[in-house]
Structures are given as structure tokens and as C-alpha cells.
A and B are shown apart, each in its own frame.
Chain A
Amino acid sequence: MRSSTILGLATTAVITLGLTTASMAAETIKVGVLHSLSGTMAISETTLKDTVLMLVEEQNKKGGLLGKKLEAVVVDPASDWPLFAEKARELLEVHKVDVVFGNWTSVSRKSVLPVFEELNGLLFYPVQYEGEESSKNVFYTGAAPNQQAIPAVDYLMEEGVKRWVLAGTDYVYPRTTNKILESYLKTKGVAATDIMINYTPFGHSDWQTIVSDIKAFGAAGKKTAVVSTINGDANVPFYKELGNQGLKAQDIPVIAFSVGEEELSGMDTTALVGHLAAWNYFMSAEAEVNAAFIKIWHAFIKDDKRVTNDPMEAHYIGFNMWVKAVEKAGTTDVDSVRSAIYGVTYPNLTGGTAVMNTNHHLTKPVLIGEIQADGQFETVWQTTGGVIGDAWTDFLPESARLVADWTAPINCGNFNIDSGKCSGQNY
């Protein structure tokens, strides 16, 4: 009895081993997914994990890539920044993935950068960010400041806004964005006394004083607007307080860079109607590709109430561009794919065409939408064509002279056009 059990176990083991080698032999192309599924960032990143899984499934339905099936490898960095680096290393060294889609916060991206550069991996980063970076191994499919913050301010200026509140959560993205905006506003002739900058801790929930200050700031006789880089959870109490203290969108509009459809689905939107957001994509965009994308998403997630958002579109564009580049290069080798992807175009979901530039940023349209009672946006303004993502902003003296171009002859992420040199730093 015992020997037969052992025999049985051994057979099972051999069969399992055989199966594993068989599937190894069939060779899949591995797609790494590096998004937090637990911890504070799970709220935003879980959806992106599902998006990549859906894109992989769709690609496999079309017959895979280079005659091979795609296989997603999902790891959970648990909203823990050092763990992001470890998991990135695991994906590249242990699982030997060909490409990674991942990260949300800037600090997590900074944490994985050295790993991707050391092991020559390939990362697609889908979230709007503060710019000031261009790594050889990262493609930035989210918006750079000139694709979100600057057009948003331009729009409000057209609407007659003369006085500005720059409110943000206290970390790198709002601080850098506000630095850029402050300098931009000053070049447009806004006096320093007409700019109020305010930072709050993560998850700030008591907005009474700040909203009352904004109210007083807005009563000075000039049209006032709030540019909000307030992150995630702090937004609900912020908008509630605005509504309760009687600040309406018509009087003091708030334009947000971190509030999208997904965030709105967890809020009671009554206090938010009329406030604005700037993105490169809205779920309400009227385009056939968008309708098809939403349909596939609902079928995949098996819930037709789930919304789509801007970072999902960024992954959609990034993934499909990578597929096109791999087909063009005929291999998944990182360097070949990297040189093949420059200039690759793909239809974006709002109706235009996105282009991958040699500075690793996309050309995308910019949309400004007003929040509606159903948690969707109504587009009130959009750029006529695409805007080229600028890695180094023109509005900070230290980065105005820097360009990123990963093709010959420059071949670097931070080329100084005055000195004609790269700083030597890789990103």
C-alpha cells in the first residue's frame, strides 16, 4: 500500500514535471504585471492588473504574438516601495518576463528604475506623472505635465481665471507639478500674491480651515480657481467640504489631475457636479473604438457597472504599441523592441492616433471634462490635435535646456543643449 502510494506520488511528480517542461517547450511570451493588489494603492492598481490580463487574453484570442501565446505573470508588490524593486527583480530574473506593465506612484517607479536599467528590462508606466525623467528602459504612456497640467491652466485662463490656488498632497508629484505651474503662471504675468500654494498630508480629512481660506482668497474680487493635485482618498472630504461651505463650481471651479471615473465611482457625486478634470481619456468619449473597448472590459470583468479610466487607456495604447513593435522587430529582445517602437502609432480611444516618440513619451490629445451627476465627464474642451509629451519641462530653469532622445546621435535621456553633454545619469 505504502509503496504504491509512493509510486503514485512519483508518477504524479514525473507527469507534473513533464507537463511543466512541455509548457516550457511550447514557449510563451511572458508579460509581467507589477501592480499592488494589497495595501493602500490596491484601490487604483487592481484595475490596471485586470486591464493587462484582459489585453493579454484579447491578444491570445487573435492568435498570440510571433506564433506564441502570451502569458501574464502577476506579482503583488503590496504598496510597499522597496518591495517593488524586489518584485521587479523577481519578474526579470526568475520569471524572465519580456516586458513589464506596472507601477502607479512616482516613488514606486523611482524604486524600480535601477533594477530595470541594471537588468535591461522594459517597463510601461501608465500614470500621469511629474515628468523630469526619461529612462532608456521605461516608456511613459501617462501624461507628462505639458499634457495635463499646462493645458488645464490654459483653459482656465481662457475662462477668465486670475487668481490661483494650487492645492496638493504633500509628496513628489504635486510638489513638482506645482513648481512647474507656479513658474508657468508667473511667465503669464500672474503676480505672486495671486497664487496660493497649499499642501496637506496623505488622507487628509479635515478640510474646514483650508476651504474657508480658499473662500476668503476667492473673495478678493478676481475670478479664482483651484488646481488640485490632491491624491485619492483625501478628495471626498475635500469636495464635500467645498459643497457644504457653499463654494460652487461656477464661483470657484476645481480642476483635478487625480480624480477620474474610478475615483468618482466610490463617491457621492452631488457635491462635485461642475468641477473639472483634465485627462487624455474620458469614458464618455464618443468613438467607436471606445465603445468596443468598454464592451470587452465589461465582458472580461463580468460587471457592466465598472468604469474605464485614463491609466487603463494608457495601458491599452502601451500594450498594443509593444505588440506592434515586437511584430516589427520579429523578436521580444528589449533593445530591438525599443528601437522598433519609436514612431509606432496606435489609435487612441478618444478617436485620434497616439505616437510613441523617441523621448519615450506619447503624443496624445488633452481633454477637459466637467463632472456630471452620474460620475462621468462631459468634455468641455479638447486640444485640436495631439500634444507631444515633454520629458523635461520648459518652465523650470534647470530643465528647460534638457532634452531626451533615445536615438542616435543624442541617445540619452537628459541631453543638455547648451553644453552638448549628457549628465551621465541614466535617467
Chain B
Amino acid sequence: MRLRFRLSMLVVLFAVALSVWVPQAQASALEGAVTALDARSFAAKSKAVDALEALGEPDALPALRAMLEGMLFREKASKRVVIAEKIGGEYKISDALSGAELGQVKKAKLKKVSVNNRLRGRLQLAIGSLALNARDAETRTKSARSLTKQGNISMLPALDKAIAAETEPSVESTMRIARHAIQTKAGNQADRLAAITALDGVLDQDVMFILGTLSQKANEADPVVRALAAATLASTESSGRFYGAAETLFFGISLGSVLLLAAVGLAITFGVMGVINMAHGEMIMLGAYTTYVIQQWLPNAIEVSLAIAIPAAFLVSGAVGMAIERGVIRLLYGRPLETLLATFGISLILQQAVRVIFSPLNRSVITPDWMSGALEVNAALSFTYNRLTIVIFTIVLLAGIAALLRYTAFGLQMRAVTQNRQMASVMGIRTNWIDALTFGFGSGIAGIAGVALSQLTNVGPNLGQQYIVDSFMVVVFGGVGNIWGTVLGAMTLGVANKLLEPWAGAVLGKIFILIFIILFIQKRPSGMFAIKGRAAEN
């Protein structure tokens, strides 16, 4: 071990000495290769990337990364290849190799070095092999990953060297997987079979892709390799089945959380007060638009704007909700059909108002970076961050609502009015105001749901319509007048939907759920949990 370490030290020392020895030649070759990136055809660009990779010089990394991200430009006047960063209306340019700043120029002075998907793949590979020697562990892991995906046999020596020098165990194991993955594709049969066996049970998307490729006759001539690859893939897949089931459960819970978010406001206005509010979806929409407006004010602080949007959406939707209650619904208590029609009319008015004010086009709400991507356990199980956030957000919101109902005077009065209006009135509670506040509260919660949904879907005039049917479904299924029923209803529907979807398809799955609910309501008209309340009395 020590000897090998010494040897690799020697190699490194020799390489350093060599690079000191021929710095001039190397530098100009590098410069030439970087300039060649700005070739006319994609094929020539790809050749230039090959050349840079062959040089093995990490100095080329910034240029390659910039090219991948569409930040590599040619300065038209000097024909120099530069990295440009957009600042306001102008571009700040710097030398592609040295990183020396070259000032700011107008867009017209630059021509972008274009890339396509194939070239992007090639660039990632080159970056991957150059980055094996990077200082930070994360870059090394990433580079090993990209080698797993598309590395070839010529990279094995570099990879072996990197494995030998690696100190971090987790990075080392990723590198070893990359090594096996490359070895499966070429070399003598024994090496390849050993490599395939070593990959058994590795739940990685790219590894499984490679095994799949090897198990096909069109790609692999050797029948022994083919059979082993197919067997290994099957055993890996079966060990991933448990995780697949866990993932389906997570999908169900996260869909349930979205349903719950949309429905919990309705559970208060419809469930507790017995008002059929067809404009509930538009309260969600208003919340989403509030998020958009606040983001327009604070374009550089996405997280802050979201944090402000939560109370702001509550206030906006709550205020509109109270106005609807005082202006329209108050006059129609006890006449559910008229309420339904009136609130449906209000929902159309609100939609068209939004079209007039914000234009009928969707608005783009930016999602914070930390909400994109996924927490990957393995290939079969990953939790996307935005869904995780929504699940946690729903739990927190629900806890808040429960606490408010349980511990505040408003919550107490609300429950009292729900249970027995006359008695509450006799006890000195202004039932009128409690009605208005309850309706405003339910609408405000819908506004908060809008903030969350703006991170998942479109912010447009039709946002509310998409959720109104689902919301009613959840509330009716869970049991009118019971928030915990709503929670259970949403989760049941979410999980059932996700269990049905893989074999019935999204369209049929939804139909099955609807039929199930219709049958269920026939059997138990008051839903899963029914409590006595104003709605139940009627």
C-alpha cells in the first residue's frame, strides 16, 4: 500500500516536473483547443472538446463549464473566446482560460458558442474526467457519476489513479462503481463478468441502464455476458421493488397533501359552516397571484418573498372571502342552491378580473433553488424536494389550524356556533361576526394553499378550477364538518389514486376514484366521519 502510494506520489511529482518543463507548449496547445471550441459545426466543436480532454489540464474546466451553461461567447471584434456573465443589460466578459476580466460589452458585440444535447453530453463527460482530480469531494463524486454513465475504457487508468489517491470512502465507492461500469463494456470476458457481478444490487439509474444495454442481442455479442447482465438486472430490480413501493406511498402522501391543502379551507367554509362556496378555487388563485405580485417587488430575494407571501395571501384571500360573505352569502343563508349559483358567478367574475388585470397568460413564479432536485436514496426511491416541502408545509399549517381552533377564543366561539347556533347566541357570541370571520379564515387558508401551489403548477386564471372538484370530493368523502376527516379523506384519495395510476392510467384512475366516491356516498351519505353540527342538523 505504502509502496503504491509512493509510486503515485512519484508519478504526480513527475507530472508536475513535466508541466514545469513544458509550460509554454502546453499553454499554447490549451489556448488553441479552447479557441477551437468556437467551431462552425457541432462535430468540430466535439473534436475540440476531445482535444481539451486529451490535454488533461484542469485549467480548461471553466471554459468547458461555461460552454455547457451557454455562457461561452466569441467576442466578434477580437475573435477571442470569452466567458460572459449577464449583468443588467450588458455582459461582463472574462478570458476563457486565465479568467482575467475584460470589462463589460453590449450583447451585439458577442456571438454565443451554441451547443446541442449531444455536445452537452460530451462536455459533461470531459468535465467529468478532468474533474476527477478536483479538490472538493462533491466535484469528484459528480465526475465519477458522469463516468459511470458514459465513460469508456481509455479512462480506466485515470480512474484507477484517482481511486488510489481517494481518501473519502463514499467518493471512493462511487468511483469503484464507475470503474466496474466501464469495465463491463470492454476488456476480457472474465474481467467483464466480474464487473457485472460486482454491480449486483447497485440501485443506480445509470448502472441499470448499462446492464439493460448489455442484456440486448443488438448491443452485446457474447451470450455469457448477456445472460449474466440480464440476471443481474433482474436481481437488482427485485431488490428495488420494496423501494418502489415506498416511492408510490410517498407519491400518494404528497398528492394527498396537495389535495388537503386545497381542501382544508373548504373544510372550514363548507364543512363547518355548510356554505357551498364555488369561488373557493379562486381564493387559491388569488393566493397564487399574491405570491407572483410580491415576487415582482422582490425579484432578488425569492425566499423572503415567499415568506412574505404566506401572510399576505392569507390577508388578501381572507379579505376577499369576508367581503363575499358580508356582501352576498350572508343574504342567502339557508338557501344552498342560490348560494351555489351566486358563488359560481363570483368565481367567474374573479377569473375574468384576473385576466383583465394580469392578462390571460400564465405568470411565472420562480421556485427557490433548494426546492428543485431530489433527495436520492437510490434509483428506485427518491424524494423530490418540492414535494417534501409541501408535505411538511401542510403538516405545519394543519398544526396551526388545530391549535387555533383548540386554544383561541375565536376557535372556541367558532366551535360553539357550529355545534349550536341558538345556544351560542344566547351565551353572548355575535354569531354574525363569527360567520364572517370563519368564512374569511377558510378563504385565507385557501390563499396560503395558493402560495404552496404556485410552486408546483401554473399561476393562471384557471388555477382555481383545477382544484375545486377535488376539494369538494375530499371534504364530502372525509365527512362534512370534520377537519380530521378531511385529512384522512385527502390521504386516502391521494394514496388510492397513486396505487391505481400505474395500471389504470391517469384518466381511468381518476374515473375509478370518482365512481368509488359515488358508491361510498350512497352507503355513507355523511362521509367517513360525521359529527353533529349545523350541517348535520339540516
Q: Tell which of B95-103, B265-273, B381-389, B521-529 binds the partner.
A: B381-389
Tell yes or no: B331 within 8 A of A by CB: no
Do A42 and B360 touch (CB < 8 A)? Answer: yes
Tell yes or no: A204 within 8 A of B by CB: yes
Q: Which of B213, B367, B462, B506 contacts A201 (CB 8 A)?
A: B506
Do B372 and A243 touch (CB < 8 A)? Answer: yes
Known: A42-B355, A204-B506, A209-B502. A241 touches B384 (CB 8 A): yes
Tell yes or no: B70 within 8 A of A by CB: yes
Q: Tell which of B31-39, B246-254, B413-421 binds the partner.
A: B246-254
Q: Which of B213, B376, B465, B507 contacts A200 (CB 8 A)?
A: B507
Do B255 and A208 touch (CB < 8 A)? Answer: yes
**In the assembled complex, how far is the CB of residue A210 from the closest CB belonging to chain B, in whole angstroms?**
7
The CB with the most chain A CB atoms within 10 A, among B212, B367, B457, is that of B457
Contacts of B121 in A (CB 8 A): 250
**In the assembled complex, how far is the CB of residue A374 from the closest CB belonging to chain B, in whole angstroms?**
9
Nearest-neighbor residue (CB-CB) of B71 within chain A = A373
Do B213 and A222 touch (CB < 8 A)? Answer: yes
Interface residues of B in 162-216 (CB under 8 A from A): 205, 208-216
Number of interface residues of A (CB under 8 A): 55
Number of interface residues of B (CB under 8 A): 63
Distance between Cα atoms of A266 and B498 in the complex (Å) = 28
Nearest-neighbor residue (CB-CB) of A203 within chain B = B466
**In the assembled complex, how far is the CB of residue B454 from the closest CB belonging to chain A, in whole angstroms?**
10
Q: Which of B208, B254, B461 contacts A219 (CB 8 A)?
A: B208
Do A159 and B458 touch (CB < 8 A)? Answer: no
Q: Which of A204, A244, A266, A270 contacts B460 (CB 8 A)?
A: A266
Do A373 and B70 touch (CB < 8 A)? Answer: yes
Do B507 and A219 touch (CB < 8 A)? Answer: no
Contact bitstring B353-382, A, C-beta under 8 A = 1, else 0: 001000111111111000011101001001
Nearest-neighbor residue (CB-CB) of A206 within chain B = B255
Tell yes or no: A380 within 8 A of B by CB: yes
Tell yes or no: B505 within 8 A of A by CB: yes
Do A43 and B361 touch (CB < 8 A)? Answer: yes
Do A233 and B117 touch (CB < 8 A)? Answer: no
Distance between Cα atoms of A237 and B374 in the complex (Å) = 15
Contacts of B501 in A (CB 8 A): 209-210
Known: A271-B372, A274-B117. A245 touches B212 (CB 8 A): no
Contact bitstring A264-293, B, C-beta under 8 A = 1, else 0: 011110110110100000000000000000
**In the assembled complex, how far is the CB of residue A302 from the closest CB belonging to chain B, in whole angstroms?**
13
**In the assembled complex, how far is the CB of residue A190 from the closest CB belonging to chain B, in whole angstroms?**
13
Interface residues of B in 503-519 (CB under 8 A from A): 505-507, 510
Contact bitstring A194-211, B, C-beta under 8 A = 1, else 0: 000011110111101110
Do A237 and B215 touch (CB < 8 A)? Answer: no
Q: Which of A210, A222, A246, A268 contacts B216 (CB 8 A)?
A: A222
Known: A203-B466, A212-B251, A222-B216. A268 touches B456 (CB 8 A): no
The CB with the most chain B CB atoms within 10 A, among A209, A262, A263, is that of A209
Do A46 and B360 touch (CB < 8 A)? Answer: yes
Contacts of A258 in B (CB 8 A): none
Contact bitstring B371-411, A, C-beta under 8 A = 1, else 0: 01110100100101111000000000000000000000000
With A208-B254, A249-B117, A265-B364 given, name 5 new contacts (CB 8 A): A38-B352, A198-B506, A205-B457, A240-B372, A244-B386
Instruction: Give the 5 A-B residue pairs with the shortest CB-CB distance, closest first.
Output: A221-B212, A266-B362, A221-B213, A42-B360, A244-B384
* Between-chain CB contacts (< 8 Å), 19 pairs: A38-B360, A40-B465, A199-B505, A203-B462, A209-B506, A210-B501, A220-B212, A221-B211, A221-B219, A222-B216, A236-B457, A236-B458, A244-B374, A244-B385, A246-B373, A246-B374, A266-B364, A268-B365, A370-B117
